[in-house]
């Protein structure tokens, strides 16, 4: 992985390593418990865990792009968008990712891909209609920093493991209970213990990924502002996108909500809930950080 001109973030790197360590440890314990409880079904558990994880890692960019309705576009189809990405990649000294557009009025953007060679950056038609060129470059720089810092791949893997817990549990229970006959005392215990263990694993994974997600958004804002030298443009884009979300039909926002952790701004801002459940820092936190960066750049 080549280095770029995006400002390195040791705090982000430390959090990514820590998150993956604890999630990896959690799943080793989880699979071990399932193998111990479902002795007859352990080959199914291990094969499913390994097979689905490999498939997710290698095809995560395609899965995410398909789920969010992204369509790859050529420079002839979207010259302004490609031009902005070209300028930012030259400024950051990084390979140009694939460029896509999602046909939705929800003003947003995302990046996905397991590394710089497989990366994809997507903007929605709603975002392209609403932002000025400087604002759009700020958003795209934010998304490119996710690719440069490698946190896109980490978030994809970390988010997927929570889903994997439920899949393994269902398959493991099905295989184990069929072998057990489904009627003895051990079966009754399994039907209580395994869903409980799976729920605990999912909750811990969810909280760890949310914690990482909030920090990585602040890190991407900071890196984008420093790369472009225009924190005010990114702040303006943030304010505009967040304000426009209130005008989007609830049905469209509900469709985008499952991918909140990957969007530039959340489809639904759940600031009334505990911050532990939020995928993004609050708008006030993000604007405050950008204001401090603006002051610092002004002094420099």
In b/e form, how buried is each residue of 160-169, taking b as 16+ CB within 10 angstroms? bbbebbeebb
Q: CA 145, CA 137: separation in Å to the nearest integer?
A: 12
Residue 44 CB partners (closer than 8 Å, separation 6+) = 171, 172, 175
- Is 271 known to be catalytic? no
Q: Please give the annotated binding residues for Zn(2+), written as ranges.
A: 142, 146, 217
Residue 72, strand partner residues:
100
C-alpha angle with apex 144: 138 to 149, nearest 5 degrees?
125
For 77-113, letters b (16+ CB in 10 Å) and e give ebeebbebbeebbebbebeebbbbbbebebbbbbbbb
Q: Would you say 233 and 135 are in contact if contact means Cβ atoms under 8 Å apart?
A: yes
- E strands, 105-211, where? 109-112, 120-124
Distance CA 165, CA 290 (A): 38
* Rounded (5°) CA angle 223-225-227: 65
Contact (CB, 8 A) for 205 and 160: no
Q: Which of 143, 257, 271, 284 is catalytic?
A: 143
Residues forming a β-bridge with 98 = 120
Q: Which sequence positions are flagged as catalytic?
A: 143
């Amino acid at each position: 992985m080549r280095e770029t001109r995006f400002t390195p973030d040791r705090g982000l790197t430390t959090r990514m390593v820590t998150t993956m360590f604890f999630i990896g440890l959690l799943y080793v314990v989880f699979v071990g418990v399932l193998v111990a409880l479902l002795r007859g079904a352990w080959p199914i558990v291990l094969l499913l865990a390994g097979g689905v994880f490999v498939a997710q890692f290698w095809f995560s960019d395609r899965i995410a792009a398909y789920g969010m309705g992204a369509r790859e576009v050529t420079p002839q189809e979207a010259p302004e968008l490609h031009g902005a990405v070209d300028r930012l990649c030259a400024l950051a000294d990084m390979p140009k990712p694939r460029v896509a557009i999602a046909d939705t009025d929800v003003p947003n953007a995302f990046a996905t891909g397991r590394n710089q060679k497989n990366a994809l950056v997507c903007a929605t038609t709603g975002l392209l209609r609403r932002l000025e060129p400087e604002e759009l470059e700020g958003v795209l720089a934010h998304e490119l920093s996710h690719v440069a810092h490698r946190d896109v791949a980490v978030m994809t893997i970390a988010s997927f493991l929570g889903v994997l817990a439920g899949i393994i549990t269902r398959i493991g229970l099905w295989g184990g209970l069929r072998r057990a006959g489904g009627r003895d005392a051990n079966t009754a215990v399994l039907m209580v213990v395994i869903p409980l263990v799976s729920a605990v694993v999912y909750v811990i994974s969810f909280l760890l990924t949310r914690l990482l997600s909030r920090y990585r958004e602040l890190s991407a804002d900071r890196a984008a502002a420093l790369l472009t030298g225009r924190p005010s443009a990114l702040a303006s884009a943030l304010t505009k996108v967040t304000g426009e979300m209130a005008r989007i039909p609830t049905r469209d926002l509900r469709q985008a909500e499952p991918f909140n952790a990957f969007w530039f701004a959340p489809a639904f801002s759940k600031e009334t809930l505990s911050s532990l459940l939020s995928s993004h820092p609050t708008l006030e936190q993000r604007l405050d950080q950008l204001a401090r960066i603006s002051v610092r750049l002004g002094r420099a």
